[in-house]
Amino acid sequence: MSNKVIHALYNDDDVLMDAVKQTRLAHHHIEEVYTPFPVHGLDKAMGLAPTRIAICAFLYGLTGLSFGTWMMNYIMIQDWPQDIGGKPSFSYIQNMPSFVPIMFEETVFFAAHLMVITFYMRSKLWPFKTAENPDVRTTDDHFLMEVAVNNNEDELTSFLKNTGAVEVKVVEKH
């Protein structure tokens, strides 16, 4: 089994969308699509599962809220309950309004930063990562669809040419 793939290049996102739909109808497996900008509806056309990053962010936010609450309660109420300008420090609820700005910011801070880090980890992005770009033109003005080949090279090539591709090439993947 060779690990060959076909790279079909398009120069219009509408043509690309149609090609993706046709390819999926013909039950060819799309490995990846490279585009220079977000194409609306491409994930739906490819049948990708919806992201769960919002759920992560919500849970991170709850973590931040808990952290802020715990921190203020420990420092201001449990550890050293001083009388600072007459603020009641006998219980957390009595002095809660003054902790709310901190609780809010901790919630946003945890939700935002942990979500971004989650995104980087799940997309495998980091500063010295080698770019995985199959064709330099895909960051500028071309769209590339990568389709797996299973002993049907000729058939797949002619099929992709019919979908409006400006260039179709067979590539050996290492």
Partner 1 sequence: MYTFSSKLKNLSLILMVLGALGIGYGFFTAPKNTEEVEAILASGHGEHHEASASKHEAKPAHKEEVHVTEIVKDSAALAVNHLDSISKNVEEGHVAAVATPAHDTHEAKSEGNEVAHDAHAEHAEHVEHVFHQLQNKPWAALYVAALFFMLISLGVLAFYAIQHAAQAGWSPVLFRVMEALTSYLVPGAIIVYVLLVLSSLHFNHLFVWMDPEVVKHDELIQGKAGYLNVPFFLIRAAIFMGGWIFYRQYTRKNALLLDETNDATYYKKNFKASAAFLAFFLVSESMMSWDWIMSVDPHWYSTLFGWYVFASFFVSGITVIALTTLYLKSKGYLENVNNSHFHDLAKFMFGISVFWTYLWFSQFMLMWYANIPEEVTYFKFRIEHYNLPFFGMVAMNFVFPILILINTDFKRVPWIISMAGIVILCGHYLDFHNMIYPATVGDQWFIGISEISSILFFLGLFIFVVFTTLAKQPLLPKGNPLIDESKHFHY
Q: Which is nearer to partner 1, 38 or 97 (CB)?
A: 97
Sheet holding 4-10, edge to edge: 30-34, 143-148, 4-10, 167-172
Closest of 27, 10, 40, 33 to residue 152, by C-alpha: 27
Q: Which is nearer to partner 1, 58 or 70 (CB)?
A: 58
Q: Which is nearer to partner 1, 115 or 165 (CB)?
A: 115
Interface residue list for partner 1 (CB under 8 A): 54, 58, 86, 88, 90-91, 94, 97-98, 100
Q: Which is nearer to partner 1, 3 or 41 (CB)?
A: 41
CB of 97 to partner 1, least distance (A): 5
CB of 83 to partner 1, least distance (A): 9
CB of 59 to partner 1, least distance (A): 12
CB of 58 to partner 1, least distance (A): 7
Q: Which is nearer to partner 1, 90 or 128 (CB)?
A: 90
CB of 37 to partner 1, least distance (A): 20
Distance of CA 165 to the CA centre of its chain: 27
